[in-house]
């Protein structure tokens, strides 16, 4: 392999940016915090982190990032959206704030803060179809996916409890999204899947 390591950006307007940068670096890629459009130009892939989707939306628009991110999504750049980032990737949002916008691209309807107040943060193990070991998943005021379009592949559902069967990880071509926070801890399989998508897209 003579290609240089791919460059993967993390949208760095608000939220848990550092943990994603660390995961990307652990996987041998160049990790870049993206605060301006010129930094996005360098990226072969992008992570939209968890945080507060309404804040990320507002700041991304104010900083002139929303348009360029949308264009890169539309032109096939691989993107991983986690928690708030999943909301930002979704084409449709339920229980969003007034005027809340998303970058879109992922043909799903997500419900914001879907798990409710009593259990707004929790941890569980999720079975992923392609992986032998379940993923230890941390949910923090997370959305779930309420409807998926025809081209969307469901990767994981919650098992047990009041949210049994709810969809919490999806993929549609170059777009990957999780309701939980894969950047917490050192299980890098979700990020590794993004890297694989980025390497595949460069070929
Ligand atoms: N509840 C947040 C939102 O609506 C998401 C929470 C998170 O990313 N941990 O954006």
Strand ranges, E, within the chain: 7-11, 30-34, 45-48, 79-82, 90-94, 106-111, 121-126, 135-140, 144-148, 153-157, 167-172, 175-178
Is 181 a known active-site residue?
Answer: yes
Q: Determine, yes or no, domain membership for 14.
A: yes
| pLDDT tens-digit map of 25-84 | 999 999 999 999 999 999 999 999 999 999 999 999 999 999 999 999 999 999 999 999
In a domain, 2, yes or no: no
The answer to whether residue 190 is domain-embedded is: yes
Q: Judge whether 1 lies within some domain.
A: no
Residue 142 to residue 178: CA distance in whole angstroms:
9
Cα distance between residue 125 and residue 117, in whole Å: 21
Domain region containing 105: 7-202
183 is catalytic: yes
The pLDDT, as a whole number, for residue 119 is 66
**Are 10 and 47 a contacting pair, CB within 8 Å?**
yes
Helix, strand counts (H, E) of the chain: 6, 12
Residue 156 lies in a domain: yes
Q: Convert the pLDDT of each residue in 119-137 to its tens digit.
A: 689 999 999 989 999 999 9
What is the enclosing helix (H) or strand (E) of 39?
helix 37-41
- Which residue, by CA, sits nearest to atom 5 of ligand 1? 84
100 lines ligand 1 (CB under 6 A): no
Domain of 195, CATH number, reads 3.40.50.880
Its pTM stands at: 0.96
Report yes or no on 148 lying in a domain.
Answer: yes
Residue identified by tokens 């002139």 is 64
CA distance 83 to 140: 8
DSSP state, residue 77: -
Total domain count, the chain:
1
Tell me whether residue 123 is one of the annotated catalytic residues. Answer: no
Catalytic member of 19, 20, 29, 181: 181
Whether pLDDT at 161 is above 60: yes
CA distance 167 to 155: 8
Mean pLDDT of the chain: 95
Closest to 113 measured CA to CA, from 104, 100, 125, 103: 100
């Amino acid at each position: 392999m003579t290609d240089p390591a791919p460059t993967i950006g993390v949208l760095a307007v608000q939220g848990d940016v550092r943990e994603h940068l660390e995961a990307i670096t652990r996987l041998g890629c160049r990790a870049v915090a993206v605060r301006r459009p010129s930094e996005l130009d360098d990226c072969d892939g992008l992570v939209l982190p968890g945080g507060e989707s309404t804040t990320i939306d507002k700041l991304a628009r104010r900083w002139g990032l929303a348009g360029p991110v949308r264009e890169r999504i539309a032109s096939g750049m691989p993107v991983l959206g986690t928690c708030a980032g999943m909301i930002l990737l979704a084409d449709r949002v339920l229980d969003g704030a007034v005027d809340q916008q998303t970058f879109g691209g992922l043909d799903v309807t997500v419900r914001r803060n879907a798990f409710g107040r009593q259990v707004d943060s929790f941890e569980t193990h999720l079975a992923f179809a392609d992986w032998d070991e379940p993923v230890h998943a941390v949910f923090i005021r997370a959305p779930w996916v309420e409807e998926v379009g025809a081209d969307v592949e469901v990767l994981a559902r919650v098992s047990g409890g009041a949210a049994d069967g709810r969809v919490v990880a999806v993929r549609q071509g170059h777009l990957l999204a999780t309701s939980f926070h894969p950047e917490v801890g050192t299980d890098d399989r979700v990020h590794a899947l993004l890297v694989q998508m980025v390497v595949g897209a460069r070929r």
